[in-house]
Structure 1
Amino acid sequence: MTKPSAVSDLLNRTRAIVETIVDGVITIDQHGLIDTVNPATEKIFGYSSEEMIGQNVSMLMPNPYRREHDGYIHNYLSTGNKKIIGIGREVRGLRKDGTLFPLELAISEMFINGQRMFTGIVRDISERKETEEKLREAEHRVHEQRVKDEFIATVSHELRTPLTSIKASLEILKSNACDGVEGQADALIEIAHKNSERLLLLINDILDISKIESEKMGYRMTSIPLQEFLESAIRDNKSYGEKYQVEFTLGEVPDGIEIYADPDRMMQVMSNLMSNAAKFSPPKSKVEIYALRDGNRTRICIKDYGYGIPQEFHARIFDKFTQADSSDRRQMSGTGLGLNISKGIVEQHNGKLSFTSHQDKGSEFFIDLFDHSQGENYE
């Protein structure tokens, strides 16, 4: 049998523990009314014990937790379904001064003199959350710097390659080393010319990326008849298709549909998608252009029957400086920036650029645009 002095000593020890721990300890009755609080609870929430005892514990919670609290207890008492009892969870607390803060809450059930009671252990995790956020920000900065360094290194390489070729061609011409060799001067001039074009394309693409990322790319938004726009896209890119022996064809387009877009920038997107489709299609094949209307969404589709995009490449398709290899290994021109730029342009039109692709069966890219009066994003 425990001696009275031992019982008193145990109670004093327990009381000392509860009163000195940094976690808040709150007991409530089966009606959700606060029965006891420890000093840590007063410190965490900013209320005195007198202000809390006898009040519904929901006073320490913002919505939606405040609205749901009594329902949790009633549900448990009537059904035995433990939604929060015995389960730790992260919620938000409400201090006396009205500020919200993150806290960890664990609720357990107990019986005292036959009466059902609940004990809540609360821990203010504001500092931990701030530390985690600072760590995430630091990791994000490190990642951004790594991406920037990789981008600069890649740009340097991409710029150096055509410049080196141009320089070499000009040096040979300057030294008169090709004098007397029929056609060699013309060949060197052609090499320099092609690499100059590649250099200009690369510089323009880099400038576009910079404008998109800094949100400084200007847009002249207007309503564009879709049928006329797609017909123009096919006319403008016809010669490019002929270069690869690919025919662009116009399929079904809903009558009377208009899109709200910058015609030049959206044509830039179309030209990029159509040129990619031509480059990665077999000779004498077709690339189909058509459109669909669904609610307030207009979808422009560019479908080819080419080699398809390898599955392992799908996740990187819109990254900078990326190009899928073609199965026949034809030399593919381009900077590897087009799809990244196109995605940025479409997104700045409040739209989405996506695709489906199957190896050796072809690819289909989708430009989803919304009626500008709706103000919605395609998710």
Structure 2
Amino acid sequence: MPQKADDRRSFLHIRALMATTSEGLIAVGPDGDVRVFNETAEELLGVPRSRVHGKLYTSLKQPKVEAAVERLLRPKARKEPIAVRLTLGDRVIAATVAPYDCSGRRAAVVTLRDDTALEAYRKRAEAILASTGDGLIVFDPEEAITYINPAATMLAGLKPSKLLGKRTPLWEMLSMMPEDSFSPAIDGSQVREVRIEEPEHRIMDVRTDPVLDDKGGYLGYVATLHDVTAEREVGQMKNEFVSTVSHELRTPLTSIKGYIDLILDGEAGEINEIQREFLSIVKQNSDRLVELINDMLDISRIESGRIHLKIQPLDMCDLIAGAVDTFQAVSDQSGHKLLPKAPHDLPKAAGDRDRVGQVLMNFISNAIKYSPEGGSVTVKAKQEGDMVVVAITDQGIGIAKEDQAKLFTKFYRVDSSLTREIGGTGLGLSICKSIIELLGGKVGVKSSAGKGSTFWFSLPVASKDLVRTPDVEGPAAAGGTVLVVDRDPEIANLVETYLVKQGYDVVKAHNATEALEKAIEVRPRVITLDVMLDDGDGFDLLQKLKDTPETSEIPVLVLSIVCDEGRSCRLGAADYLEKPIDKARLTTIIDDLVGSVASPVVLVVDDDRNIVDLLCRNLKAKGYSVAAAYNGAEAMAALRKKHPDLILLDLQMPVMDGYQVIEKVKTDPATKDIPIVVMTAHQIDRSRIDILGLAQQKVDKPFSAEELARRVESLLENMLEES
């Protein structure tokens, strides 16, 4: 009797509390009888209290709730609450059945909540998510998938039934490489381009965003899949169209520009002042047209990721001096003063010489154009931390602050009478920005209206690994024969005229078959090659030239309207020049190539970088081409790239020592005839004296660099006499 009195008091207390709550509450005693059934429960279930109170819980007539109560009332049942959802007409009721202790016996409490509005909101949200064209995948903090919308199923071929609730990393789901995986919890929003082939080829931008609660707690992340296949295809078509149109314009422009230059240079006889004036106008406008075409092609290459950059150490003092020299005549004519200011101890920058020169020329050209007559243009360079910064300052019209942020965007031009008078496409600065950023630098401007402007760009300081191989400049060219291969006879004649004036003999060929025959027969010092030939692909001819023993060592300069510098270099081209042909650039490259052929190549191999640097400088000063390696493995790699005339070799080196190098060089038919001069400061290993005997000479350290250079010179002269 006391036990039952306690139970009754307990339930009376609970019933008083339950009557005040907004949720429906049902208490079921240890014997299964319904002891509490509040008014909200009556209203939600539509059952009068008198029909269930004091009766077994089965009188609720709700099978899901009854099953949950039955399970929890079992003596050894688990204590976790059980959630069920009830659909009663238009209503959705969320029910939770939880166990509680009733005087040492197990009882149950059922809470009921009206989720009708919440369910309607959920369905509306699901409908919205299902109707979007972008795929959505929701992950919890453990990277288990909690939601996949139909678009994600369609775009990526995902099967929700196999993925929901399972821990599946996004990179694995989209067949990405693990190193491309996302870390949204750490890194915030990220975007990757992903290509998939199943169920069909698609290109998607995949964006991940972390989901946070109101206190910043991490709840997981959402991945958005945006199909950009059509956009990429349209972009590719646009780039191909721009490239095709530009290339078609380049061919006639090459002839127009080239022959105008020849006439102005007096190659067709004397011209009077009126003729010179008219021709100068034609030249000026043809140059503008070439500049426009080049800008269009550069934008196309940058957008498609096809721009080719050759990173090398750059002496910015030399680049600035060259740019100032180029503009000197223009500045003298307009009354401008060009003032270069760069310290002689400025470290080398890492960049592409031609592209950085393009940026520098663009900035200086703009500074002259927008400065008043008699004004000065200052070109400064300095080191700031691990960057080399170049700044061009003018005394021009200046730029309003609201225009500065837009200056480096495509097609943007400051709206003023002076800019309209000067003209331009609005592409130059955008191209400059893209080039410098691809090289790891930044661009910027400091200006105020009416007070001039300073345009600047920065480049990383060249690393020691990049600087370690000294620049090689062979002796001045001494003429020789150049084979000019071009399907267009007019352009071939133009190139011939340029080169004959420079002191070269020229042989011409207009197709691949003729070119290969003449290359074998004439053995020219250099070959210029147009890759658009009538009887075959010029790249195939380049491959044949490099595979044919008689022509494999002849440098090939590719001249083409087709921009594929990367492919040209991979196939062995010595250099690349786009049409229309710049006469000064053409002759400079030809002179360098002829000079490099005439200059013997010495490979210096030593693990002491100071010795390598010393020897390279001395040999370069003597007119030799030099290459450097710092252990035996690097030496063998260098041999595969370029066949030297002589090797200076240290014996004691890491990775692969000098004895091993000698053995490999002398047992390889391709390198066995290369003379080797051994440099050593150690006792020679007598057990390997036979290998050492394969070397031509031995020099003991320490030695004089000048003495060693004389020894090299003597050895190479003897080789030439013997041959």
Give the TM-score, by structure 1 length: 0.55
Describe the SS at the equivalent of 1:291: strand
Please report how far the alpha carbon of residue 303 of structure 1 lies from its aligned counterpart in structure 2 after TM superposition: 0.9
Is the contact between residue 301 and residue 365 of structure 1 (CA under 8 Å) also seen in structure 2? yes
Matched, 1:61 2:61: no
Task: Name the residue aligned to 2:310.
Answer: 220
Task: Name the residue aligned to 2:85.
Answer: 19
Please report how far the alpha carbon of residue 301 of structure 1 lies from its aligned counterpart in structure 2 after TM superposition: 0.8
Task: Name the residue aligned to 1:50.
Answer: none
Please report how far the alpha carbon of residue 322 of structure 1 lies from its aligned counterpart in structure 2 after TM superposition: 3.6
Distance 2:299 2:365 in 1: 19
The equivalent position to 1:303 in structure 2, one of 370, 383, 393, is 393
Matched, 1:362 2:452: yes
Please report how far the alpha carbon of residue 242 of structure 1 lies from its aligned counterpart in structure 2 after TM superposition: 2.4
How do 1:1-379 and structure 2 match up within 5 A? 2=19, 4=37, 6=39, 8-9=41-42, 19=85, 61-62=141-142, 95-99=165-169, 129=224, 133=226, 141=231, 189-253=279-343, 255-324=345-414, 331-332=421-422, 334-373=424-463
Is the contact between residue 254 and residue 292 of structure 1 (CA under 8 Å) also seen in structure 2? no
CA spacing shift, 1:9–1:235, aligned 2, 3 Å:
same
Describe the SS at the equivalent of 1:220: coil
Alpha-carbon displacement from aligned partner over 1:163-189 (angstroms, at most 9, x marks no partner): 9xx9xxxxxxxxxxxxxxx99877665
CA spacing shift, 1:204–1:329, aligned 2, 3 Å:
closer
What stretches of structure 2 of length at least 5 have no aligned partner? Answer: 1-15, 20-35, 47-63, 66-82, 97-110, 114-139, 144-163, 171-207, 257-271, 465-723
Alpha-carbon displacement from aligned partner over 1:173-227 (angstroms, at most 9, x marks no partner): xxxxxxxxx9987766554443222222211222222222223222232212222
Describe the SS at the equivalent of 1:316: coil
Give the TM-score, by structure 2 length: 0.31
Describe the SS at the equivalent of 2:433: helix
Describe the SS at the equivalent of 2:405: helix
Task: Name the residue aligned to 1:66.
Answer: none
Instruction: Give the partner amino acid of 1:338.
Output: G
Describe the SS at the equivalent of 2:332: helix
Is the contact between residue 244 and residue 279 of structure 1 (CA under 8 Å) also seen in structure 2? no
Distance 1:328 1:316 in 2: 18
Describe the SS at the equivalent of 1:309: coil
What stretches of structure 1 of length at least 5 have no aligned partner? Answer: 27-35, 39-59, 64-93, 109-119, 167-181, 375-379
Q: Looking at both structures, which has the greater relative contact order when contacts are Cα pairs under 8 Å and sequence separation is at least 6?
A: 1
Distance 2:169 2:374 in 1: 68
Please report how far the alpha carbon of residue 262 of structure 1 lies from its aligned counterpart in structure 2 after TM superposition: 1.6
CA spacing shift, 1:18–1:358, aligned 2, 3 Å:
farther
Instruction: Give the partner amino acid of 1:201.
Output: E
Please report how far the alpha carbon of residue 319 of structure 1 lies from its aligned counterpart in structure 2 after TM superposition: 2.8
Distance 2:420 2:214 in 1: 66
CA spacing shift, 1:313–1:96, aligned 2, 3 Å:
same
Percent of matched pairs sharing the same residue: 31
Task: Name the residue aligned to 1:51.
Answer: none
Describe the SS at the equivalent of 2:413: coil
CA spacing shift, 1:253–1:20, aligned 2, 3 Å:
farther
Instruction: Give the partner amino acid of 1:211.
Output: R
Distance 2:95 2:325 in 1: 74
Is the contact between residue 307 and residue 327 of structure 1 (CA under 8 Å) also seen in structure 2? no
Please report how far the alpha carbon of residue 266 of structure 1 lies from its aligned counterpart in structure 2 after TM superposition: 0.9
CA spacing shift, 1:366–1:20, aligned 2, 3 Å:
farther
Alpha-carbon displacement from aligned partner over 1:131-159 (angstroms, at most 9, x marks no partner): xx56xx69x959x97xx79x98xx99xx9
Distance 1:103 1:202 in 2: 45
Alpha-carbon displacement from aligned partner over 1:252-298 (angstroms, at most 9, x marks no partner): 43614111122121111111100100111111111111122122111
Instruction: Give the partner amino acid of 1:218.
Output: H
Please report how far the alpha carbon of residue 246 of structure 1 lies from its aligned counterpart in structure 2 after TM superposition: 1.2
Instruction: Flag the structure with larger Rg.
Output: 2
State the Cα RMSD in Å. 4.9
Distance 1:295 1:276 in 2: 28
Is the contact between residue 142 and residue 220 of structure 2 (CA under 8 Å) also seen in structure 1? no
Describe the SS at the equivalent of 1:204: helix
Is the contact between residue 279 and residue 332 of structure 1 (CA under 8 Å) also seen in structure 2? yes
Alpha-carbon displacement from aligned partner over 1:66-108 (angstroms, at most 9, x marks no partner): xxxxxxxxxxxxxxxxxxxxxxxxxxxx954244797867689
Distance 1:203 1:227 in 2: 30
Distance 2:345 2:279 in 1: 49
Please report how far the alpha carbon of residue 305 of structure 1 lies from its aligned counterpart in structure 2 after TM superposition: 1.6
Distance 1:186 1:103 in 2: 68
Is the contact between residue 368 and residue 377 of structure 2 (CA under 8 Å) also seen in structure 1? yes
Distance 1:199 1:322 in 2: 19
